[in-house]
A = this chain, B = another copy of it.
Amino acid sequence: MKTVYDVAVVGCGAGGYQAAITAARLGAQVALIERDTLGGSCLNRACVPKKALAHMANLLAETQALAGLGLSGRLTADLKAAIAFKDKLVAGLIRGLPVRLQSLSVDLRMGTAHLVAPHEIHLSGPREHATISARSIILATGSAPRALAPCPVDHIRIVNGDSFIESLSRAADTVLCIGGGALGIEAAFILRQFGSHVTIIESGPRLLDRPVISDRAAGFLERRLVALGVTVRKGVTVQETKAYQDGVWVQFSDGSEGQFDRVLVAVGRVPQSDDLGLAALGVRFDSAGFVVTDEYCATNVPGLYAIGDMCGGVMTAAGAMHDGRIAGENAAGGEKRQRRPHQVPLVIDSAVSVAAVGLSEDMAEAAGFTPGVLSVPFAASVKAQAYNDAGGFIEIVHDEETGQMLGGCVVGAGADELVHLLAAACLSRRGLWTFTDLNYGHPSSGEIMGAALDSYLGVLSQSVDTLFRPGIYAHPD
């Protein structure tokens, strides 16, 4: 095995993996170091298992919406089989990773990394101990669930983001989710659809407290969770817990108490970088312990980059992958690229799908824009009505003056894909007019975007310039 590389990446999660293949594609000699299972949180314990289980949960809701209206019989969730399917899925994806890395000549090195100098990593692995030097090093070691003092995790009765998916293989009739963020509400949806009685408690005044998600979106999501039978309590925290053989007793801040078969602690995540030796190198951290990076994903130590959860921010896999592409290219010595974290969609798969990109109205205002918000109900789409799932809405945030697209939020079926249209409009010089330039299939959800502008613009506007050669597109086929 080599000891000298152009780029060494520490951590084979979504971000590190993306950084390694990006750099390799640019011709760099790349080492990718992982101390644990390949794929990181996203693949093993979060996004991927969640997507599979949320899909099943969603199918139960979608078919339920048509019960007696064309579908009969009864579908039930089989958690044991679902977990077996998930295990097989994840195992298959993990097996695929080394193959793809090998095809790009990325050296996968198993072991724990410790930075002994700015360009030098000591690797202690099960099969090797080595010193690896690299012109650039990209740190991508992710994050770990934040602990909650009154609620010590035992991974059996009291679980966290690391053990939640695993815990699903053991039935729980009653579950308490502490924290109404992405994990809490996604977990609550899955658990509820798979048969548990679920309570979410959230210390703040609303669920899904992310700046890019509007209050209205959060409120709609909450109502959908409640409609499914999830209990949502806001402004409440946990003061004390006692784990018994058969469950957990919980004392809440409002004086009430409860008994649950299982408790999920979902109160955010903390950076995971303690063992890397960064302090000794003088790497700068913020007050919360996140590594401080600039717009190029560079730390204050030359040649040392950091990406993804360990740097804070939105802390999503998609965000880490964005960083990975930026850092991978910058580390490989390509054109210097800046990160654009606002261009990364945030997607929540819960009782309703919520996805947002760019700036919310509040964020846009804070940034000095005069934002306008076009809001259209999903009911504007014939498709949504045909699916008997016309709840939800799309918010399109734009600059009133220029028509520049600033962002938007989709609350409704298929939000995880529809958000890409908003993202494309944010990148387009046509801004808001992207949605009138486009032709939509009929009936489709995309038409909602078009309908948003129907109510707003007196005059439709065609692309001034298109890339189509005249004559080709001017006639029917």
Contact = CB atoms under 8 A, between A and B. Distances in A.
Contacts of A425: 424
Most chain B CB within 10 A, of A66, A75, A441, A443, is at A441
A52 B387 contact: yes
Contacts of A404: 467
Nearest to A296: B474
A252 to B, nearest CB: 31
Given A26-B458, A72-B75, A439 B388 contact: no
A422 to B, nearest CB: 11
Contact of A89 (B22, B48, B386, B475): B386
B341 A477 contact: yes
Contacts of A424: 421, 424-425, 428, 434, 438
Most chain B CB within 10 A, of A70, A211, A418, A445, is at A70
Interface string A259-284: 00000000000000000000000000
Interface stretch (A128-136, A139-147, A174-182, A342-350): A342-350
Interface in A66-81: 66, 68-79, 81
Contact of A318 (B69, B342, B441): B441
Interface in A27-42: 27, 42
Nearest to A359: B472
Most chain B CB within 10 A, of A66, A329, A419, is at A66
B312 A467 contact: no
A474 B459 CA distance: 34
A382 interface: yes
Interface stretch (A56-64, A105-113, A117-125, A229-237): A56-64
A473 interface: yes
A338 interface: yes
A468 B385 CA distance: 35
A435 to B, nearest CB: 10
A346 B439 CA distance: 10
B66 A71 contact: no
A110 to B, nearest CB: 23
Count copies of this chain in the complex. Answer: 2
Given A63-B75, A424-B428, A93 B382 contact: yes
A342 B89 contact: no
Contacts of A212: 477
A318 B459 contact: no
A431 interface: yes
A400 interface: no
A313 interface: yes
Contact of A334 (B55, B426, B459): B459
B444 A417 contact: yes
A73 B75 contact: yes
Contact of A56 (B70, B383, B444, B468): B70
Most chain B CB within 10 A, of A47, A335, A426, A473, is at A473
A322 interface: yes
Nearest to A404: B467
A314 interface: yes
B386 A444 contact: no
A69 B51 contact: no
30 contacts: A21-B454, A25-B458, A25-B460, A48-B443, A59-B59, A59-B71, A70-B77, A71-B81, A75-B75, A89-B385, A92-B385, A312-B476, A313-B476, A318-B440, A321-B439, A329-B460, A334-B459, A338-B462, A342-B473, A342-B477, A345-B439, A345-B440, A345-B444, A405-B467, A417-B441, A420-B444, A426-B468, A427-B434, A427-B438, A427-B466
Interface of A: 14, 21-22, 25-27, 42, 47-48, 51-53, 55-56, 59-60, 62-63, 66, 68-79, 81-82, 84-86, 89, 92-93, 211-212, 295, 311-314, 316-319, 321-322, 325, 329, 334-335, 337-347, 355, 359, 363, 367, 382-383, 385-388, 404-405, 414, 416-421, 423-431, 434, 437-446, 454, 457-460, 462-463, 465-469, 472-477
